[in-house]
Structure 1
Amino acid sequence: MLVKFAGILQPVAFIGCENLLPYVLKIIPSWPWDIATDQLEEPVIAIHRIDDGYVIHAPWHSQPMSDPTEVSAACSLIVDLIHARTLERSIEGEEFCLHGAAAVFSGRLVVFPALQRAGKSTLMARLAAAGQRIFADDLLGICTLEDIGISFGASPRLRLPLPTRTRRPFRNFIDAHRGPADDRYLYLDLPAAQLALHGETAPLGAIVLLDRRATGAAILVPARRSAGLRHLIVQNLTGHHDAETIVARLRRLVDELPCYTLRFSNIDEAAALLHDSFISWPSQSGEGETARIAAEEPSPLPSKSYLQPQMKSAAPRRRRRLDDDPYIRLPAVAAHEVDGEIFLTDPRDGAIHHLNLMASGLWRLLAEPITTKQAVEVVQTAFPSLQRQRLERDVTALFSHLLENKLIAHPEHLDSLAAAGARAPLGRTAKTAS
């Protein structure tokens, strides 16, 4: 059976698994669909029934994806549907797909980029229980040209079992809106008033980074724009644009939208705080914000390590042995500075690298030839309280990372590296040295 979904040129083939379609439609109830009139048309996605589950084939998968249950297979298929739709929309336009959640507050979207086990899906369900309209639980379309979010109309999905501290009113709401489920996940069956329709749009209002902790009261604090940009780059799922375009488009979002961090341990407190904070929108500058939004000053000191493998894996397994000759940055590498932190884009391989404050300062020094020893001396002068041994280790690690990724070189090698880079294939990866 071939099924056409609105916004996707080619159909989806359900091969021996027509029983799966009702699960899919229950999770994306407002996504228009129809049986394909041409049952010989080439499908963009094919899903097969096998003895112990389902297998999905799509051109962007390096190998077939397998799922054991109807619910998990429907979930995987919907992700592929969104990918196919976004791929077609983003080739010529400025639409991309963000791994994250979003809810409507006073007519505008608060966007929550995904962070591992930060509780975004539970938070969306809790906001729905409080009457907020949910725009996205896991995948959100964004058009940077119009600064709008685009809903795919997918129901929120909760991980099972529910947290033991879930309060009775919230449990009652979940029980009253139970949708498709297996032993790992439960989808909510929300009314139309609380779940945005497929293709529905709303203006973007703010970016909120989730920081779930074991204890402590909920608090909303301003976040650095560089942190917002880093998380947007990490969770950008549209990979066919060049790195320069990706950073430029996402940077425009963080330049225009306020960015916050929500620290919380209790989901009820977090939902209440979001409602109180965004029922009337805080100003872009931060003046006149609700009293429960606290101030936070960024630390000028470097983080524990420059090389956290957060976007992909930027850290070398071990520091390379560096000689005492000077290094200089390659002119082909472009730099985008946000709040003193630099994002590097490399047109030769499509990679994106994030440098924290200290690493960004070293990158500026590399505009002229400099040795690692000279770099250590400069940083030691600026931060005399830093332990010398740690400083030498971190500077060496940063230079190793830059050298390993061919972002710096000995001055006499610049021409040969530039020529080699011009022949490299373009493929986007995102790395960090933050």
Structure 2
Amino acid sequence: MNAVKPVKPSTIRLDFPGLTRPIHLRDAEPVANALQVGLSGWRPSVQAADASDNPASATHRRGGAYVVQSTYLDEPMDGLTVTGAFCAIVADLSEIWSEEHPKDLMLHAGGVVIAGQVVAFAGEARAGKSTLMARLTAEAWAQVLCDDVLPVQPDGQCLGLGIPPRLRLPLPKAVSARFRQHVQDNAPLRDGQYAYLAAETTAPHGTKAAMGAFVALTRLESGPARFHDLPKVQAMAHVLTRNISLSDETDPFLERAQNLVEGAVCLRLVYSDLEEAVALIRQAFCDGLIDIGPAMDLPPAPVLSPVALSDSWAQMAQVRLRQRGAETYLWHPQENSVLAVNPIAAVVWQLLSESQTGDAIAKTLAEAFPQVTPATIRADVALLLAQFEAAGVIRRR
């Protein structure tokens, strides 16, 4: 992990209940206020920082913006708004929780308590998970645990960390007037990119409930909202690929994940209209009126065009590499996305810790795999970089 720079006299230390590693803030009172306003029921103690502290992250003001330095980032995040700094810090809080609670499964999923049980929602990037969780904060019958990281404790209870759902701005034109007004009234933290929904229906830190249902989200361009059966094997694959915990206890994790899936109703929610989806969720989990269609074949993934190998690329600073046994994933907490990668793809992503052209990467791989033709390697690299770009884990330089 990267070290955080030494403190200065004006630095304060925030200690969050349940965590041993603190957060440092220097000349960043608006960020401290944002944490007070944005986090639900998770109030840190405040004291002067000390040089002997071992902070997980440190935020300071520079000019009219903020810089966040974190042990989980290869380089500081600079030029952040108050909302951007809040976003970076809460991502670190999730990381610290995972690190200090290795027996918790940390599912990359949204979680909502409905009628006393948790309904977990997971989906591929752009499936609308965070928007749906934010929209559900407008409903009195739903208590939103999270939109991004759902800890599941060893006793099977899902835990709310008190982190509010985040919306990407601007809102889609198709959202309802009611939701638009809800965002206006309940998003005290916002900038031009994100808004956090600090509504009364956001569950306070420490809220617990057992999982009752696991829902995979599929958003289509058109068509009515409907539920389909989700085979247990597919639900298990969702859980396995969405565990972002730092624990290496593979066997216990597999057993717990299997128990979690076996004890839950597993469904796929297909929708195009957000309001229809919310109405259907209420009918299913509040009223018990649920019509489940058969398991469905998903539409094929869009075909990507290979990138130009002459272009230069580098890792997105926020992306974390996660490994679970033989499985490797790239997790982007700011984009709420998880990408499963094979060993070669993981190596390519690690090569991009420093800016490189596709040509340079292809040359490196050609030297490592002389039995493969250079033309094949170049074609594979061009397509892999396109996949990385689409997933938001690399950027052009």
- Normalising by structure 2, report the TM-score: 0.69
Shift of 1:135: 1.3
Q: Which residue of 2 is the match for residue 104 of structure 1?
A: 113
Which of these two proteins has the greater Rg computed from alpha carbons?
A: 1
- SS of match in other structure, 1:296: coil
- SS of match in other structure, 2:292: coil
Decide whether aligned partners of structure 1 residues 349 and 204 sit closer, same or farther in structure 2, where only a CA change above 3 A counts: closer
Decide whether aligned partners of structure 1 residues 173 and 16 sit closer, same or farther in structure 2, where only a CA change above 3 A counts: closer
Q: 1:202 aligns with which of 209, 215, 221?
A: 209
Q: Does 1:178 align with 2:190?
A: no
**What are the equivalent positions in structure 2 for 1:196-275 lying under 5 Å apart?**
196-275=203-282
Q: Which residue of 1 is the match for residue 145 of structure 2?
A: 135
Shift of 1:304: 7.4
Asked if structure 2 preserves the Cα contact closer than 8 Å seen for 1:31 and 1:198, the reply is: yes
Decide whether aligned partners of structure 1 residues 216 and 67 sit closer, same or farther in structure 2, where only a CA change above 3 A counts: farther
Per-residue displacement from partner, 1:73-118 (whole Å, max 9, x unpaired)? 111101101211232122xxx3122222111111101001242111
Q: Does 1:352 align with 2:322?
A: no
- SS of match in other structure, 1:74: helix
CA distance in 1, matches of 2:91, 2:204: 17
Query: For residue 285 of structure 2, what is the amino acid of its counterpart?
Result: F
Per-residue displacement from partner, 1:244-290 (whole Å, max 9, x unpaired)? 34333222211221211100000000001011111256xxxxxxxx4
- Normalising by structure 1, report the TM-score: 0.63
Asked if structure 1 preserves the Cα contact closer than 8 Å seen for 2:109 and 2:120, the reply is: yes
CA distance in 1, matches of 2:284, 2:211: 16
Query: For residue 224 of structure 1, what is the amino acid of its counterpart?
Result: P
Q: 1:83 aligns with which of 95, 106, 119?
A: 95
Per-residue displacement from partner, 1:373-399 (whole Å, max 9, x unpaired)? xxxxxxxxxxxxxxxxxxxxxxxxxxx
Decide whether aligned partners of structure 1 residues 18 and 176 sit closer, same or farther in structure 2, where only a CA change above 3 A counts: closer
CA distance in 2, matches of 1:349, 1:150: 22
CA distance in 1, matches of 2:275, 2:283: 12
- SS of match in other structure, 1:170: helix
Shift of 1:67: 5.1
Shift of 1:56: 2.6
Q: Which residue of 1 is the match for residue 162 of structure 2?
A: 153
Per-residue displacement from partner, 1:41-100 (whole Å, max 9, x unpaired)? 41232223334733333333333334521101111101101211232122xxx3122222
Shift of 1:134: 1.1
Shift of 1:176: 2.2
- SS of match in other structure, 1:61: coil
Asked if structure 2 preserves the Cα contact closer than 8 Å seen for 1:243 and 1:351, the reply is: no
Decide whether aligned partners of structure 1 residues 263 and 297 sit closer, same or farther in structure 2, where only a CA change above 3 A counts: closer
Per-residue displacement from partner, 1:152-194 (whole Å, max 9, x unpaired)? 1112211111111112222222222232100011112312xx1
CA distance in 1, matches of 2:258, 2:205: 27
CA distance in 2, matches of 1:40, 1:62: 22
**What are the equivalent positions in structure 2 for 1:279-318 lying under 5 Å apart?**
279=286, 290-296=289-295
Per-residue displacement from partner, 1:318-365 (whole Å, max 9, x unpaired)? xxxxxxxxxxxxxxxxxxxxxxxxxxxxxx9931389xxxxxxxxxxx
Shift of 1:130: 2.6
Decide whether aligned partners of structure 1 residues 66 and 226 sit closer, same or farther in structure 2, where only a CA change above 3 A counts: farther
Asked if structure 2 preserves the Cα contact closer than 8 Å seen for 1:45 and 1:56, the reply is: yes
**What are the equivalent positions in structure 2 for 1:330-369 lying under 5 Å apart?**
350-352=325-327
CA distance in 2, matches of 1:349, 1:241: 7
**Residues matched between the structures, number:** 298
Decide whether aligned partners of structure 1 residues 249 and 17 sit closer, same or farther in structure 2, where only a CA change above 3 A counts: same
Q: Does 1:33 align with 2:44?
A: yes
Decide whether aligned partners of structure 1 residues 349 and 74 sit closer, same or farther in structure 2, where only a CA change above 3 A counts: closer
- Identical columns (%): 28
- SS of match in other structure, 1:230: helix
Q: Which residue of 2 is the match for residue 401 of structure 1?
A: none
Q: Which structure 1 residue ranges, 5 or more long, are not aligned?
A: 282-289, 310-347, 355-403, 405-434
CA distance in 1, matches of 2:31, 2:131: 25
- SS of match in other structure, 1:98: strand
- SS of match in other structure, 2:101: helix
Q: Which structure 2 residue ranges, 5 or more long, are not aligned?
A: 1-11, 305-322, 330-368, 370-397
Alignment RMSD (CA, Å)? 2.8
